[in-house]
Structure 1
Amino acid sequence: MAGSATFAFLLFQVPQISLNFQNLTKGNAAALFAVPWMGQLVCLLGNLSLLSYFAKKREVGAMIVQAVGVVTTSVVLLQLTLAGSMPSLVFIATAVAVGFGLILNFLNYNKLLSPQIWYLWEDVITVGGLAVLPQVMWSTFDTILPPSLVPGIGSTVVALSLVILRRLKKLSPDITSILSSVSAWTATLLFMWGPVAQIWTNYINPANIRGLSVSTILLAMIGNGLMLPRALFTRDLMWFTGASWGTLLQGWAILVTMYMNKCIPKPLFWGAGVGLAFWLGMMLATDAKVYSLSSPLSPLRELFFGRIPAKSD
């Protein structure tokens, strides 16, 4: 099922890329401001970090999904740069990071990369993720918060210090273990912040919502939804968190904002909602049946709290 999601993600950004291209060729660059570049950037960085996570776990289907997300989101960012929405220097730095990331992940998956270089890359994405996320979260609400670089600088100093102390083996085993999982969770949080930025942009500037592609939003909901059964079946909390957030926020919640502003027809909106509810219910029921659990909600309990051993007679 996770492999089927690849097809949805292959097409995911295509409608948005096509719409952006049409607006650019017509000289309507302002329409591209409906897509927040910071939201797309954090999604891209999240995809890149999750690619490393799944490459390490050798989950091929999930790797392909993340790699496709990296490439297509990079195209969207290029279009936003051409429209004047995204600063050129930020795009150039992002493109360099993406190039290195794709090459290193390819080499590591094929066992052509030394462990030392891979560990260095993991440190880079840990520091980068922890540095970018707080700054982007602050900057998203720049209409109500004062401009500041303190969140980014502060989190960079903390992250860099922790990584250096880990390299010097000055951290306790518990903190080292937590830090090892921070990179993957930061990647998930980066990915999760993208739809939050989009929803906020839709709220403060509803006039530009028509610059969004409904097809892209639907494909985001479908693609993430198709990943959910595999994430639940493997009891991977981080994967399930990212996929469910993508389904409900990147898909359904953005559709709600578009419906409220009369950008999508009522049958499409309610049809998508009913279909999503049916899919989630079927996923829980099927997983409970496979694991011989007593309730459709038991898979979620196991996901968050671990498997509960059967009582002995």
Structure 2
Amino acid sequence: MARSLLASNYHLTANSLLFKPLFFPLSSPQNPKTPRVFFFNTSLHHRFKPCLALDSDVPYSRSQEPGKRLGRSKSFEDWDWWTAKFAGASNVPFLLLQLPQITLNAQNLLAGNKSALLAVPWLGMFTCLLGNLSLLSYFAKKRETEAIVVQTLGVVSAYVVFVQLAMAEAMPLSYFTVTSVVVGAGLVLNFMNYFNFLNGGIWQFWEDFITVGGLSALPQVIWSTFVPFIPNSILPGAVAFVMAVLAVVMARIGKLPEKGIKFVGSISGWTATLLFMWMPITQMWTNLLNPDNIKGLSAVSMLLAMIGNGLMIPRALFIRDFMWFTGSAWASILYGWGNLVCLYCFNSISREFFLAATLGLYGWIGTALWRDTKVYGFNSPLRSLKELVFGS
């Protein structure tokens, strides 16, 4: 398990956080013939109320529809538009990260070299796929179109690799069948929910499913990172599975207080985010144990991961989505830039390359904070960060 996850670090982050010249316009859930453009309340006096960190997965509210907003600020509206486009543009670096593996697999299949695909860790990729589906459900509930496209791209690209592995007989057919059912059901249910075509009970069952799956996977992934320094065991995942099922059942039969039910409802999104956030730690741990492996890291891949996640930071900050902001900032700084630091320390990249990446990343984050402060009419970026974490 640990070896699988370590080998698939690039793929996990590429699909993550976790967004468009590659833009797929979606129609409005209320009127399918009308192109859907999602706005937030842009009035500086009547803007939407930032939510608490635990409430990050609060669904789209009809009170935020364009017709119900008054006195919109032009700068606020412009920044709303730009942050959405930045998030959508992250599709480009993520796609560039995913294509090499798919292309290489296709070349090996055409050459009849099926054994080469045995090196692709399908178990680690399945964990990544579960994370993408969880985040897809999270963003579908929030009606964040650009983020939905990114997570859908992650799910589809992962499934393409699964198809290639099944063709090469590098993945058991029974597991591939289960994966196909999960992917098909996940995509159909999420998009039906997005367009308000789905029964609430079915959606609740799907959310419970990904909650149990995500909560079971997270402790197992963390535990497996440190094997063989600790015993190889499935106990963490098994215990988490039992606890997750118990929590979900208690929430559904009304045995938990309101805060407990809200907490259970937020688990799936947070566990998916934490799964992706753990990948940089896994990579850093590998670098520490095997410094020679650092030379095998691709500086371009790390840069693309940094850019892709960094492009989502302004949007997450603007809509006060603490979970999204945490995952994007963590992946951009700790995974992308952090591995560039390792590469620089071992003289694998030039000083100019490292300084350009550093100035670009922190200049981008600083600009996002400054611009957010201005459009909200605050005097300090600390006010924006306070609202992000604690709400207004």
| TM-score range relative to shorter protein | 0.7 to 0.9
| Conserved 8 A contact 1:287-1:299 | yes
Q: Is the 8 A contact 1:135 1:151 kept in 2?
A: yes
| Stretch of structure 1 that moved more, 116-125 or 41-50 | 41-50
Distance 1:86 1:261 in 2: 37
Code of the residue aligned with 2:138 in structure 1: it is: Y
Alignment of 1:72-87 (within 5 A): 72-75=157-160
Say whether 1:288 aligns with 2:373. Answer: yes
**What corresponds to 1:147 in structure 2?**
232
Q: Contact (CA 8 Å) 2:294, 2:343: kept in 1 or not?
A: yes
The one-letter code sitting in structure 2 at the alignment partner of 1:306 is G
- Residue 142 of structure 2 aligns to which amino acid in structure 1? K
- After superposition, give the CA deviation of every residue in 1:102-143 in whole Å (9 maximum; x if it has no partner): 222122223332221111000000000011110111011112
Q: Flag the 1:4–1:151 CA change in 2: closer, same or farther, 3 A.
A: same
Q: CA deviation at 1:193?
A: 1.8
RMSD, matched Cα = 3.2
Rate the CA distance shift 1:297–1:84 in 2: closer, same or farther, 3 A.
farther
Alignment partner of 1:191 is 2:268: no
Aligned to 1:113: 198
Deviation at 1:71, TM superposition (A): 2.4
Aligned residue for 2:384, secondary structure, equals: helix
TM-score (norm 1): 0.84
Q: 1:91 to 1:277 in 2, by over 3 A?
A: farther
Aligned to 1:201: 286
Change (3 A) 1:215 1:78: farther
Further displaced range: 146-155 or 22-31? 22-31
> Matched residues in 2 for 1:101 and 1:283: separation?
33
CA offset digits 1:149-205 (Å, max 9, x no partner): 110110100110111122222222221121111122112112212232233334334
1:194-249 CA-partner distances (Å, limit 9, x unpaired): 23223333433444455544333222211111111111011111111111112112
What is the match of residue 11 of structure 1? 96
- One-letter amino acid of the counterpart of residue 361, structure 2: L
- Bigger Cα displacement from structure 2, 247-256 vs 84-93: 84-93
Give the direction of change, closer, same or farther, for the CA distance of 1:114–1:293 in structure 2 (3 Å limit).
Answer: same
Cα distance in 2 between the residues matched to 1:177 and 1:56: 15
Q: Is the 8 A contact 1:44 1:69 kept in 2?
A: yes
Cα contact 2:87–2:147 (8 A) shared by 1: yes
19 and 205 in structure 1: CA distance in 2 versus 1, 3 angstrom threshold? farther
1:181 and 2:273 correspond: no
1:264–1:180 CA distance, 2 compared to 1 (3 A) = same
Q: Report the alpha carbon displacement of residue 23 of structure 1 after superposing the two structures with TM.
A: 8.6
Q: How many residues matched?
A: 306
Preserved CA contact (<8 Å) 1:42 1:194: no
Is 1:299 the equivalent of 2:372? no
Written as runs of structure 1 = structure 2, the 5 A alignment for 1:158-307 is 158-209=243-294, 211-307=296-392
Give the structure 1 partner of residue 143 of structure 2.
Answer: 58
Contact 1:10 1:65 in 2 (8 A): no
Q: CA deviation at 1:5?
A: 2.0
Q: What CA distance in whole angstroms lies between the structure 1 residues aligned with 2:97 and 2:259? A: 39
Taking structure 1 as reference, are residues 17 and 268 closer, same or farther at Cα in structure 2, changes over 3 Å only?
farther
Q: Which amino acid aligns with 1:189?
A: L
> Separation in 2 of the partners of 1:302 and 1:135?
33
The CA deviation at 1:79 is: 7.0
CA separation of 1:198/1:302 partners in 2, compared to 1, >3 Å: closer, same or farther?
A: same
CA distance in 1, matches of 2:280, 2:124: 7
Check whether the contact 1:40–1:194 (CA below 8 A) recurs between aligned residues. Answer: no
Whether the 8 Å contact between 2:214 and 2:271 is mirrored in structure 1 is yes
Change (3 A) 1:212 1:298: same
Contact 1:51 1:66 in 2 (8 A): yes
Query: Normalised by the size of structure 2, how large is the TM-score?
Result: 0.68
When residues 119 and 218 of structure 1 are mapped into structure 2, their CA distance, relative to the original with a 3 A threshold, is: same
1:56, distance to aligned residue in structure 2 (A):
0.8
Describe the shift of the 1:78–1:222 C-alpha distance in structure 2 as closer, same or farther (beyond 3 A). Answer: farther
Change (3 A) 1:265 1:22: farther
Listed as ranges, the gaps of 5+ residues in structure 2 are: 1-85
